[in-house]
């Protein structure tokens, strides 16, 4: 049986695997059984199943931002940074784990307001920094950064929902990229 932080990590690993495969309907009994821990251990680290789900969702969002950051980290041209960032986000949005947990279940389980707060906590800073960089470089026309960042984040989120709710996520991913890039193109200086 795992101990301490190993127990917490194992619960998170198992819950992530099960939530990704079958959604929030997975029972806590199955989670603790597969993690080889007691129900008491689950409730020691997480208030309830929703709290465990929230932790899985936040882990997925954090990893998404890390992967995007890694992929755009070497891009120096401000326009290419925006285009690459959009492309990487759309690629990640077609990932089955991200689709199931972050896009299909999280808004319903956490409620829209809490889901949106998580989305903003992980994605808004990256979007804002990319837009500000492009405006500072003269690639985009100067706009109020806060509202523009929220609007672009919302457009990216809607594109992700279109991908997640499509019968063919890969085809939907290809279809949503040109309109998103057209939105950005409309902001060019």
pLDDT digits (tens, 9 = 90+) for 95-146: 999 999 999 999 999 999 999 899 889 999 999 999 999 999 999 999 999 9
Domain match, 34 and 78 both? no
Chain centroid to CA 81: 19
Cα dihedral sign, 171-99-156-127: negative
Residue pair 140/134 in contact (Cβ under 8 Å)? The answer is yes
Residue 1: predicted pLDDT: 46
Q: At what angle do helices 78-93 and 169-185 cross, to 10 degrees?
A: 160
The percentage of residues in the chain with a pLDDT greater than 90, rounded to a whole number, is: 93
* Closest-CA residue to 90 (of 167, 188, 179, 24): 179
Which among 108, 187, 114 has a CA at the least distance from the CA of 155? Answer: 187
Its pTM stands at 0.90
Rounded distance between C-alpha atoms, residue 99 and residue 107, angstroms: 11
Asked if residue 52 belongs to a domain, the reply is: no
Residues 171 and 122 in one domain: yes
Is the domain of 21 the same as that of 97? no
- Tell me the pLDDT tens digit for each residue of 139-188: 999 999 999 999 999 999 999 999 999 999 999 999 999 999 999 999 99
CATH code for position 65: 1.10.357.10
Q: Indicate if 22 and 73 belong to the same structural domain.
A: no
Q: Given this model, what pLDDT does residue 5 score?
A: 79
- The parent domain of residue 19 ranges over 1-46
For the chain, what is the domain count? 2
- Phi and psi at 80, nearest 5°, equal -60, -35
38 plus 118 within the same structural domain: no
């Amino acid at each position: 049986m795992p101990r301490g932080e190993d127990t917490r990590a194992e619960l998170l690993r198992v819950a992530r695997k099960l939530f990704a495969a079958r959604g929030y309907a997975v029972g806590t009994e199955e989670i603790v059984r597969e993690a080889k821990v007691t129900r008491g251990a689950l409730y020691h680290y997480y208030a309830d199943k929703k709290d465990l789900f929230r932790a899985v969702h936040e882990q997925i969002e954090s990893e998404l931002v890390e992967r995007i950051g890694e992929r755009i980290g070497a891009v120096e041209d401000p326009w290419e940074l925006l285009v690459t960032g959009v492309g990487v986000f759309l690629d990640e949005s077609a990932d089955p784990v991200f689709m199931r947990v972050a896009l299909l279940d999280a808004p319903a389980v956490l409620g829209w307001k809490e889901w949106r707060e998580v989305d903003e906590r992980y994605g808004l800073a990256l979007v804002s920094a990319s837009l500000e960089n492009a405006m500072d470089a003269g690639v985009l026309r100067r706009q109020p950064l806060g509202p523009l960042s929220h609007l672009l984040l919302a457009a990216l989120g809607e594109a992700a929902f279109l991908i997640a709710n499509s019968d063919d996520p890969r085809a939907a991913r290809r279809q949503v990229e040109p309109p998103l890039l057209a939105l950005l193109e409309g902001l060019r200086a």
